[in-house]
Chains A and B, each alone.
Chain A
Amino acid sequence: MLKIEHLTKTYPGGKVGVSDLSLEVKPGEIYGFIGHNGAGKTTTIKAIVGLHKFEAGKITIDGISISDEPVKAKSILAYIPDNPELYDNLSGMQYLNFVADIFNVPKHDRKARIESYAESLEILSALNNQIASYSHGMKQKLAIIAAFLHHPKLLVMDEPFVGLDPKAAFTVKKIMRESCDHGNAIFFSTHVLEVAEKLCDKIAIIKDGKLVASGTMEEVKGNASLEEVFLGITEEAK
């Protein structure tokens, strides 16, 4: 579903964001992407969803290159940023309708999906309120509903659980798993190793822009805890 081949991204000024990174996410997989602050997680994610241009490498989503056919590629993916800055002056409902219009979600489908997701994330009654009045967690929930609204084949999430209450975090994990059970794929970054350990089918560890480990959970951590492996790998890479 997602294939990254030899991705290299250097920022103007010379700082290397990501260097020669390759990985593949297959349909039905939840793929965790972990690394310390500034390791290159967000840079990689922004390159996947077309927010960052990159000078070398190739990214394809279901066989469609994000560089060559960005609109076509974006129409089958969804993205949730680490800090969901939304249109503050719109209501939640107006924002969801906007996203549904962009992805051509039919009226009856959008009604059913919005109400279902909003109810399970306990935000339904706030949808007509202005986004400016939302807390960080509510904005995060709204961004998550918007992302799932068109049933994307690939969902890319940057720190999706930050700001969510425990119940909402549980619901989101459930929705993520259900989505993958339908053949979709999820690629997400996190700092919370316990979440990665429990939720992910595969993980990749990134350090200073380079992939230092990847594979199934068993392949990467063996019998140790993910925390021990992560700390060991990132220390070794120094």
Chain B
Amino acid sequence: MRSLYLLLRTEFLSLVGSFNRKGKTPVVVAAILLIIFGLFMIGTMALTGAVTAHELVEKDLTEFSIFVSITLSMIIALMFGVVNSTRDAKSNDTGMLLAMPIPKASIVIAKLLGMYLLDVLCTMVMLVPTLWIVCEQGKQSYDVFARGLLIGFLIPALPLFISLLISGLMSYLRKATKFGQMASSSLSIAAVLLYMFVVPRMSNLANELDLTPAESISKMKLIPPFYWITEAIYNADPLCILLTLLITLIPLVLAVYIHTRGLTGVEFHVDNSKKARSFKTNSSRMAVLKMEFKRYFSSTNYVMNTLFGTLAMLAITIMIAVQGLGSLAEFGTVEFNGKSVALLDYLTGPLWTCIWMIFINFFGSVTFTTPSSVSIEGKRIWLSKSLPIETKDILNSKILVSLLIYQPLSFVCCVILAIVSKCGILPFLLLVLSTSLFQLLTTLVGLIFGLIYARLDWTNEAQVIKNGLAVILSMVVNMLLAFLMCIAPFIAVIIGKTVVTYSILGIEIAVMAGLCAGAYAIITHYGVRKYESLNG
């Protein structure tokens, strides 16, 4: 226990130390933004859980409300799990720690604690309001609340196990196979797609409000592990309590074991000595761009964390294309004077532009490679800085990588959505222009943050790809920008005149173009100086 305490204390001191090096003001600003963002997310999740629970309890589906809460929290935890699965078990300090008289389990637990606590937070945010409503309005028994709280701490073991299982498999693929990087990236993408396939089904199952209590039981039994957990909390069924303990504790032990194997497992080295050597030449600019691409695609962690939004956007676009606009009917129907009014029937060309712009920009706001592109160089920054390359070219290559990864897929989505909604040529062109400019702006803003909050002393790349200050700030600012861009189309919808909508879209595009020019000017002046002052 003492060694675990010491490890956690060192991790904490290291975190505090990294903040102290950046100066206090930006850290305070970032902390405030993070707290606001965190409270917003927690509030939204808790409210969703509470409203759903309230509706279900009112319809006498009290037990089902707990099941729904567990399902929703598991969906979120699984998403974190899939994204976390790209994290390599080893970090730069692993060798040093393994050589010390510290039990391996302590090292592993210290490294897993952050992931576990995040999952616990997600679970509790959904579960606690539900349990409270169930106890207040439904069962009137606070035993359920107490059991729910206790079991809530065990539930995250499942997504943690799944994430580490995928992580272990990817780590093996990376090291033991010839095309390991490609295979592990493909596996990551497959995991995301599987997640996207599973989630709507789980959500549909959890959101059925017109069930009878008997029907709800049979629905719950469709996902046995969640049913056992629900029964353990709600009815304290001994068999279900036992099964709950088995399906959470065994994966927890296995998760620690897999991670331990990842720390101390055999290193594989693929022998390519007989492969012919290539001496292909490139211009220096192309060499820098190719290097930036190689660096991006060689890190599964980097790819997964930055491609997630793009893949989600593509998957939903394809779903809309396959199922038609009818699949959006439930979102676009409002009650007016006691009648259901389908908003979709009233949408015209430019309004479709606004809707698709919001849709694409939402995913665009979480898809960026630039905030971590400077920090990812880490101690290797001496390479690009000591070579005869213009700093501007290095920064341009980072911008280009982000745009070349996102823009083609974004364009494909624009084409599909424009065809599906039959919005016309001009709205389509405005859609392409506005989404492209938005992505350019978020890319540039991300790079500016990446330069300001560059961290080159990381021990595991996840520290800068997932948890870096630049990444978090960029996400907050991008979402704010995406939200601000929604306001104008809403005004246009209220006024209802096509010419007004076109005008507002035109103004937005002009403002974004101006902001992009400003941001690029900052990068070419301040950014270049900042990059040149960085030391690994």
Contact = CB atoms under 8 A, between A and B. Distances in A.
Contacts of A133: 267, 269-270
Interface residues of B, number: 40
Using C-beta atoms within 8 Å of the partner chain, give the interface range for chain A. 35 or more
A129 B388 contact: no
A50 B273 contact: no
B449 to A, nearest CB: 21
A75 interface: yes
A129 B278 contact: no
A71 B380 contact: no
Contacts of A97: 278-282, 287
Interface string A84-97: 01110111011001
A121 to B, nearest CB: 15
A86 B295 CA distance: 11
Interface stretch (B38-46, B129-137, B150-158, B528-536): B528-536
A50 B384 CA distance: 11
B386 A129 contact: no
A97 to B, nearest CB: 7
A101 B287 contact: yes
Contact of B382 (A73, A79, A104, A106): A79
B294 A102 contact: no
Contacts of A71: 388-390
Contact of B273 (A98, A107, A129): A129
Interface in B241-276: 267, 269-273, 275
Interface in A62-112: 70-75, 79, 81, 83, 85-87, 89-91, 93-94, 97-104, 106-107, 110-111
Given A71-B390, A86-B383, A93-B278, A101 B283 contact: yes
A49 B384 CA distance: 11
B529 to A, nearest CB: 9
Interface in A19-53: 46, 49-53
Nearest to A51: B385
B9 interface: no
A142 to B, nearest CB: 12
Contact of A74 (B277, B295, B387): B387
Interface string A125-164: 1111110010000000000000000000000000000000
Given A71-B388, A107-B281, A128 B535 contact: no
B298 interface: yes
A114 interface: yes
Nearest to B288: A102
A101 B380 contact: no
Nearest to A134: B269
A101 B388 contact: no
A71 B264 CA distance: 44
A129 B272 contact: yes
Nearest to B267: A133
Interface in B279-297: 279-284, 286-288, 290-291, 294-295
Interface string B170-198: 00000000000100000000000000000
Contacts of B386: 49-51, 74, 79
Contact of B387 (A99, A107, A114, A126): A99
A104 B284 contact: yes
B383 A87 contact: yes
9 contacts: A71-B388, A72-B388, A79-B386, A101-B282, A102-B389, A103-B387, A114-B277, A114-B279, A127-B277
